[in-house]
Each structure stands twice: as structure tokens, then as C-alpha cells.
Amino acid sequence: MVTKTPDFTKPFQDILANFPIDTSSFQEAVKSQNALNEKLAKVTLTAAERSTEISAQWAKDTITRMGELTATKEEPADYAKAVTDFASAQAEVVAEHMASFAEVAKKVQMDTVDLMLTAGKDIASETQKATQKAARDTQAAVKKATAAAK
């Protein structure tokens, strides 16, 4: 006695053909991701621009003070005073510029957290809508496939 295994290919193809595939949720996800990336890039570029400004000002201040340091002095003691003055001024400049860099970093952190929280809320909302739509579409497809199989 030879038994023949039923061919389920056609019924499965029919069932899969009845399931709707909606790519709009994927397209929306890509658009949302691109918008987030654009905002994050703007935060990054703004921070880079500000950091460059701080660095340039720091270099300018140092060069100006180096000019004062290298000027010819009348007395040997004046050279020691010039070095001391330079070191003191540099200590102040370092503190100022490091504080400026810290402010830039703080702003980047706050902006990034804000963007990520907003994106998280948007993604959660979009995911909920997409899941509800997929559930409705799947139920309708199952009903249609079940009716077609009968």
C-alpha cells in the first residue's frame, strides 16, 4: 500500500497571497530614522563648530601671550616675571576654555537626550498604530483565507 503525501503548496500559496503586505510602516520608519539622524547630525555639527571656535580663541590667546613672553626685557628678573605672568594667565585661560568645552558637552548631552526621548515616544506611537493595523489586516486575511479554504 502506497500512501501519497498531500501537496499543501497550493493552499499555503493561496493563504500567503491573501495576507496583505503593507510597506508604508517600513517607509515611515525609514523617514523617522532619517529625520532623527538629521537632527542628531545638526547637534553634532553645532557642537563641532562651537568647539572649533573655542579652540581657535584659545590658540589666539596663547599666541598673543607668547608674544608678550618673547619680548626683549631690560633686566634678567623681568624674564622670570614674564614666565610667571604667562603661566598664571595660561592657568586662567585653561580654566575658562575647559568650562566652555564642558558647556558644549552639556548642551550636546541635553539635546541628544531630548531628541532620543521624543523619538522614543514617536516610535512607540507609530509601532502601536502599525501593530493595530497589522492585527486588523491579519484577521481579515485569515477570515478570507478560511472562507476560501471551505
**How many CA within 13 A on the CB side of residue 7?**
4
- pTM, whole model, 2 decimals? 0.63
3-state secondary structure of 79: helix
Q: What is the pLDDT of residue 21?
A: 67
Q: Which residue in 44, 52, 131, 42 sits closest to 97, CA to CA?
A: 52
3-state secondary structure of 21: coil
pLDDT 10s digits, 60-116: 999 999 988 889 989 989 999 999 999 999 999 999 999 999 999 999 999 999 999
* Residue 28: C-alpha distances to residues 23, 32, 59, 123 (Å): 9, 6, 46, 10
Q: What is the largest CA-CA distance in the chain?
A: 119
Report percent pLDDT > 90 for the chain: 46
**Is the pLDDT at 34 greater than 80, yes or no?**
yes
Amino acid residing at 35: A
